[in-house]
Chain A
Amino acid sequence: MTSRLIGKTPNRRSVIKGMAAGAGALALPSFFPGYSQAQSSEPIRLGFQLHRTGIGASYGRWYERTATAALNVLNEAGGINGRPVEILFEDDGTDPARGAEVFGKLATQSNCDVVFGALFSHVVVGTAPRAAELKVPYLVCSEGHHVASGMLNRWTLQPGITDVKSQVQSMAPWVTSTLGKKITMVFPDYAFGHDHRDFFTAAVAAQGGEVIKHIAIPPTETSFTRYFPQIPAETEVLYHVMVGPAVLTFVKELGEFYGSGTRPEIFGFIDSLEAVDIASPGLEFLEGTHFWEGHPRYKQADASEAEVFYRTAIGVDDNGASVTDPADVATYAHMFSAWETLFVIKAGMEASGYQGPADRQKLVEAIEAMTDFAEGNDHPQGAKTFNGKTHQAFGHQSISQVQGGKLIRVHQTSLEDGYYPDEVDYTSQSF
């Protein structure tokens, strides 16, 4: 047979047939992948559902850098269970439908052991059913309440960042006792804003304060000036949380509205200004106002060694921007979750003696058994507790004030400030 093949001079038709067959054979492995079992010497493959494009792109860019830096640290320290680790990043376009497809691709095409990294709530909620169908652990970095509310499933966990309900609840005591008890809230008129409205209003009431006005901004709005006259004159604190491309316009127009006259205390979520330079023209009026930060963007005077190590590893300067481009401001308040989640995966795999996909259930059970994360290089944002029943982590929150154009932390909440009664027990659900 070999000699016949060698001895034959191919004509044009047979060459074309051969090329077609060859192309088909080359295409086959990608379309009909083999299901190779991970060998003990093979790298552990982690999938990362990345918002590389779409509305979450500014977050995604920094999440990728953060996860890559954490991966380097992890591999330099010997990997997981003696095996090297690799991360496969796949762009989900910050779209829930694509998110579920990407999850399937990472889990079944790339044979990833675990998938993590998603931030935007709609992507998480759209993807979680697929995680349960494929029985692949899905560790989200979303800060949404969707995990702890019980709407997702046993395969979906959030061990790297506090959820929004806990965040706003933990800050309400300081806001009402320090800034004022009569509060007006400005928020986007969809689920993200409604969560802030509902959770913060309840938390303020529990502290003896009152939200005297809710101002919901329609999602299609591009100018906000006409909403500001609705702010009652007796308002002591203006609470704002906005996201999306119109954020800068919102903050600038708020400054123009108050001008140099008297204004209430202003408390905002840094989400309004993630990846935006506080020193941007038009934001001068933010001087003296307060922000929630999941993790202080500016290096604080009392920064821990772990915090310095983390900042250096990613390449972020003391002002929270890239060391190579001061205009490239990080999404510092959120991106630590990608780092910390990777080290939770490491701890979980080591605790469960993880060898391959057959041990995925053991990995989930090992994470569910975790209770505390100590502050250190694995958890540079700070110590946390983890509730295995609700699959949710609880960490310290920072309240920072703009002083001299920089965000300086003036208060840090306790872990206990953020606790609330369990709304679900995922451990009672079957796999």
Chain B
Amino acid sequence: MTLSTRIWALHLAVLAALLAGSVLLPAYHQTNVAKVMVLATYAMGYNIAFGYTGLLSLGHALFFGAGLYGAGLLVQHAGLPAGPALLAGILAGGAMAAAVGLLALRTQGVAFMIVTLMFAQAGYLTILYNTAWTRGEEGIVIAREARMLFGHDLSADLPRYLAAFALFAAGLVVKLWLVRSPTGRVMIALRENEERSRMLGYDPYARKLAALVISGLYAGAAGAAYGLLFGYVGASLASTQYSILPLLWVLLGGAGTVLGPLVGALSMFYLIDYSSAFTTASLLVVGVALVLLVLFAPRGILGTIRERWLKWLP
């Protein structure tokens, strides 16, 4: 088996397992895994910026929120069908990332983190203040009739799961192709040594902007899908928490690994879900898990597996 075949076989097997979940999982877990796949798509986008290109953003909630509200507001106020709204959400995420990137990428490191955080906070407050359109922190409900995609009711468990799967699968395949392409290798080169990349003739600013826009497209797609699949568009989903979460999912699963965001999002979701049955301090459990991870597996779950056993893991 060639390396390429082995890599594709692994990822297709993961997709097959997720697809099997559509018939094997009971309602509660089917909805949960659907949500995890949407959030993992968001985290895959974050991973493209952070894990592969080295852009530690604290403002990705702005791109997720752009997709969420880009789709949700058009459905709510313009009566747009789900399909075009999803497309609008994707484009809104990408456009927002481009706008922020044009300015924020003039900075680096900690300054980049602060600038992206500030942009995201401005976006969050914009949502809160404009209640006539957004209903602020209360949020808006996407009517069931508006949640129809190609004749399928996205408020029903199976179509929702399959739609989330389709989104995740598309994101995974594109990402796998991207990170193994010459463009992906330049992204990794930028992460490892920006000056050397520049010396080799690559334009770091343009390359990082492209990576951020791709990341924004993923975030926008996930945000739009979240609103359409789960019927709720609210300001809390564009708060700072949603800038931190994808970072944690990626760190937990393994930064710079294709499947890491899925592993991280799934692990953290069920860590909170199960620990909340025993303690109100479920976030403390997550915190302890992250501390243990930093101490014993600083490259995340899949990052550690790649380092110790599966060196071919992309």
List residues of chain A with CB under 8 Å of any chain B CB.
Answer: 31-33, 52-53, 90-91, 95-97, 100-101, 104-105, 108-109, 121-122, 125-126, 128-130, 132-134, 144, 146, 151-153, 189-192, 194, 218-220
Contact = CB atoms under 8 A, between A and B. Distances in A.
A265 B280 CA distance: 42
Given A91-B276, A101-B273, A105-B28, A190 B137 contact: yes
28 contacts: A32-B26, A33-B28, A52-B280, A53-B280, A96-B139, A96-B234, A97-B232, A97-B237, A100-B230, A104-B27, A105-B273, A108-B26, A121-B137, A122-B236, A125-B140, A126-B232, A129-B144, A129-B230, A133-B156, A151-B140, A152-B141, A190-B128, A190-B137, A191-B128, A191-B138, A192-B138, A218-B125, A219-B128
A277 B72 CA distance: 42
Interface in B125-147: 125, 128-129, 131, 135-142, 144
A260 B237 CA distance: 45
Interface of B: 26-29, 31-32, 35, 125, 128-129, 131, 135-142, 144, 155-157, 230-232, 234-237, 273, 276, 280, 282
A264 B16 CA distance: 69
Contacts of B230: 100, 129-130
Given A189-B129, A219-B128, A33 B26 contact: yes
A402 B273 CA distance: 44
A315 B137 CA distance: 34
B141 A129 contact: yes
Contact of B236 (A97, A105, A220): A97
B125 A191 contact: no
Contacts of B28: 33, 104-105, 108-109
Given A133-B156, A192-B136, A220-B125, 19 more contacts: A33-B26, A33-B28, A91-B282, A97-B237, A104-B31, A105-B28, A108-B28, A122-B137, A122-B138, A125-B140, A129-B155, A133-B155, A133-B231, A146-B138, A152-B141, A190-B129, A190-B136, A190-B235, A192-B137
Contacts of B35: 101
A63 to B, nearest CB: 14
Contact of B32 (A96, A101, A144): A101
A191 B136 contact: yes
Q: Which of A31, A125, A220 has the most CB of B within 10 A?
A: A125
Contacts of B26: 31-33, 108
Contacts of B234: 96, 122, 125-126
Contacts of B129: 189-190
A32 B29 CA distance: 9
Given A108-B28, A122-B138, A146-B138, A189 B128 contact: yes
A129 B280 contact: no
Contacts of B155: 129, 132-133
Contacts of B235: 122, 190
Nearest to B35: A101
B128 A125 contact: no
B144 A132 contact: yes
A194 B136 CA distance: 9
B131 A122 contact: no
B271 to A, nearest CB: 13
